[in-house]
């Protein structure tokens, strides 16, 4: 098929692009997906490494949501198993649950201190499950204040400074405000109602999602090599293309960085293979303080893969994403501040002049989205486009 025969073109085969493509395909329209990588799945891509261990190539991804519609939608493409994620962290050479909870308190404080802190917390915050560390730090009660400062310094400050590459003193209060302390023994990392993983992994889920006679996929193709934007018109392979183009890549790259680069934090992902059954006692161990990496993930815990001879782990070293590191890394975490949002809006405003271009996703919207939100946004956008175009949704 020629490009112009497609009713829509979707750039990027991560969740934002794949969901959009599937929705349009289900309405009986033909879609072309253009993906610059050699595989589908975006950041959620999983594959088997040289030892046959299933890994998440772009960092560990755990599905969790309170949105039942999103989960119902995903269940069309995969079977899922219940997986409640737990994280432990190395604090003062002990391994304790993260977010910090009563069990962490019991491990790190002596019995008398721990009992006093728990008693005061339950008096001050009856029936409250979770509070911000800032609330504790600003408390008038000396014991609670000191406890808050302990959690802030040992669990949060260095981890965040490492992750964002800034001194602790420059960390925005709103970020600190989001750091929870759990008032109880619930040691789950997320408290969403729905916490599941796809049985055969995310790549298989994507394959099923994109399995449609109405979807064609072109891999190893950077849209920048074939698209031209001129005076409000889009040209693909030198022919004007008037149907919707759903773009899920980075807007600064799309417009050749004409307003400057949008800064991102990224990760240097270091995989290590071991000839042992288990490397660590939990799927994820955080290292807030001494080490240069922030966390170690052992994939077998996430994927439930059974093999007792070897295991693969991933160490994450935070880095800046820039011209130099771009060759080896990917833009991961948008750094949202006033200046960067001003730059982003210049790109967005310019792209809005092209009324067949739609931006959706973590990169195109320069905003960190968990998978469920990315899926929800892609579903909403496509239903808007379909309504506008009067494309009927066929029964699925
Ligand atoms: C390290 C890390 C861990 C995460 N862990 C979790 C988690 O545990 N749970 C959770 O819910 N969310 C997690 N997320 C968020 C999750 O990755 C996002 O929700 C998801 O990536 C959003 O999908 P997307 O399609 O918008 O972007 P992406 O997955 O990044 O997909 C964009 C696709 O577009 C392609 N593309 C870009 N530019 C072009 C171009 N010019 N031409 C052609 N193709 C192009 C890219 O190659 C990519 O395949 C994590 C994110 C990171 C960075």
Instruction: Give the tens place of pLDDT for each residue, 42-55.
Output: 999 999 999 999 99
Q: Are residues 135 and 251 in the same domain?
A: no
16 alpha carbon to ligand 1 midpoint, in Å?
Answer: 8
Atom number of ligand 1 nearest to Cα 45: 29
Beta strands in 322-353 (DSSP E): 333-334
Residue 169 is predicted with a pLDDT of: 79
Q: Which pLDDT belongs to residue 172?
A: 73
User: Does residue 192 sit within a domain?
Assistant: no
Whether 321 and 366 map to the same domain: the answer is: no
Q: Which of these three, 306, 327, 348, is where a domain ends?
A: 327
Q: 54 and 110 share a domain?
A: no
198-235 per-position pLDDT tens digit? 999 999 999 999 999 999 999 999 999 999 999 999 99
| pLDDT (0 to 100) of residue 58 | 98
Cβ–Cβ < 8 Å for 259, 252: yes
CA of 17 to the centre of ligand 1 (A): 10
By the 8 A CB rule, do 219 and 40 touch? yes
Residue 395 belongs to some domain of the structure: no
Q: In ligand 1, which atom is closest to the CA atom of 16?
A: 25
Say whether both 171 and 218 belong to one domain.
no
Q: Which atom of ligand 1 is nearest to the CA of 40?
A: 49
Which of these, 333, 316, 341, lies nearest to 370 by C-alpha position?
333
Using CA positions, which residue lies closest to atom 7 of ligand 1? 61
Distance 307 CA to ligand 1 centre (A): 29
CATH of the domain at 49: 3.40.50.720
Q: What mean pLDDT do residues 379-395 have?
A: 87
- Banded model confidence at residue 19, pLDDT cuts 50, 70, 90: very high
- The pLDDT value recorded for residue 186 is 94
Flag whether pLDDT at 394 surpasses 70: no
Q: Which residues line the pocket of ligand 1, CB cutoff 6 A?
A: 11-17, 34-37, 42-43, 59, 61-62, 222-224, 248-249, 253, 267, 332, 361-363, 369-372, 374
> Ligand 1 mean position to 373 CA, how many Å?
12
Ligand 1 atom, smallest distance to 59 CA: 1
The average confidence (pLDDT) of the chain is 95
Q: Of 43, 203, 236, which is best to mutate to test ligand 1, by the most ligand atoms within 8 angstroms of its C-beta?
A: 43
- If you average pLDDT over residues 109-115, what whole number do you get? 97
Indicate whether 279 belongs to any domain. Answer: yes
- Mark whether 68 and 98 lie in a shared domain: no
51 shares a domain with 167: no
pTM of the predicted model, to two decimals?
A: 0.95
Asked if residue 251 has pLDDT above 60, the reply is yes
DSSP state of 293: S
Q: Are residues 35 and 115 in the same domain?
A: no
For residue 315, name the pLDDT band (cuts at 50, 70, 90).
very high
Which of 10-19, 102-111, 149-158, 362-371 has the lowest average pLDDT?
149-158
Residue 314 lies in a domain: yes
Answer yes or no: do 258 and 246 share one domain: yes
Per-residue pLDDT, 21: 98
pLDDT for 307 equals 87
In a domain, 187, yes or no: no
Give the end of a domain, one of 149, 182, 215: 182
Q: What is the pLDDT of residues 156-212, one digit of tens each?
A: 888 888 988 888 777 777 777 777 899 999 999 999 999 999 999 999 999 999 999
Distance CA 158, CA 295 (A): 12
* More confident: 327 or 51: 51
Residues spanned by the domain of 307: 264-327
Confidence tier at 395 by pLDDT (50, 70, 90) = low
- Å from CA of 362 to ligand 1 middle: 6
Burial string for 360-387 (b: 16+ CB within 10 Å, else e) reads: bbbbbbbeebbbbbbbbbbbebbeebbe
47, 29: one domain: yes
Let me know whether 168 and 100 are in one domain: yes
Percent of the chain beyond pLDDT 90?
87
Domains of the chain: total? 3
CB 164 within 8 A of CB 49: no
Is residue 45, in this structure, part of any structural domain at all? yes
Same domain, 16 and 98: no
**Which domain-ending residue is among 274, 297, 327?**
327
Based on the number of CB atoms within 10 Å of its own CB, is 114 exposed (0-12), middle (13-18) or buried (19 or more)? middle
Residue 396 pLDDT exceeds 80: no
- Token pair 């009067």 in the structure block, residue: 390
**356 part of a folded domain:** yes
Asked whether residue 301 falls in the same domain as residue 153, the answer is no
């Amino acid at each position: 098929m020629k490009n112009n025969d497609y009713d829509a073109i979707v750039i990027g085969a991560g969740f934002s692009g794949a969901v959009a493509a599937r929705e349009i395909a289900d309405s009986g329209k033909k879609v072309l997906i253009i993906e610059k990588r050699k595989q589908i799945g975006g950041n959620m891509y999983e594959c088997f490494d040289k030892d046959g261990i299933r890994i998440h190539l772009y960092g560990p991804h755990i599905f969790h949501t309170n949105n039942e519609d999103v989960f119902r939608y995903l269940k069309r493409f995969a079977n899922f198993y219940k997986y409640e994620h737990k994280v432990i962290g190395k604090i003062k050479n002990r391994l304790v649950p993260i977010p910090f909870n009563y069990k962490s308190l019991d491990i790190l404080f002596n019995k008398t201190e721990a009992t006093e802190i728990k008693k005061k917390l339950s008096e001050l915050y009856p029936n409250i499950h979770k509070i911000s560390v800032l609330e504790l730090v600003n408390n008038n009660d000396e014991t609670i204040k000191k406890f808050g400062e302990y959690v802030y310094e040992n669990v949060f400050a260095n981890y965040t400074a490492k992750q964002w590459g800034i001194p602790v003193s420059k960390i925005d209060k709103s970020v600190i405000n989001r750091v929870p302390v759990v008032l109880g023994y619930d040691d789950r990392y997320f408290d969403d109602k729905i916490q599941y993983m796809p049985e055969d992994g995310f790549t298989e889920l994507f394959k099923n999602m994109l399995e449609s006679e109405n979807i064609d996929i072109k891999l190893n193709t950077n849209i920048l090599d074939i698209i031209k934007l001129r005076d409000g018109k889009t040209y693909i392979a030198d022919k004007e293309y008037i149907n919707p183009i759903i773009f899920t890549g980075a807007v600064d790259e799309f417009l050749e960085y004409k307003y400057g680069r949008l800064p991102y934090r990224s990760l240097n992902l270091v995989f290590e293979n071991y000839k042992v059954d288990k490397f660590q006692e939990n799927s994820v161990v955080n290292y807030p303080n001494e080490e240069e990496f922030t966390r170690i993930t052992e994939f077998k815990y996430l994927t439930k893969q059974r093999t007792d001879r070897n295991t693969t782990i991933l160490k994450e070293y935070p880095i800046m994403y820039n011209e130099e590191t771009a060759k080896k890394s990917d833009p991961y975490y948008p750094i949202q501040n006033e200046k960067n949002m001003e730059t982003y809006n210049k790109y967005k405003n310019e792209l809005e002049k092209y009324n067949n271009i739609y931006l959706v996703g973590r990169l195109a919207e320069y905003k960190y989205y968990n998978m469920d939100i990315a899926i929800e946004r892609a579903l909403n956008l496509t239903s808007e486009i379909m309504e506008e175009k009067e494309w009927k949704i066929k029964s699925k």
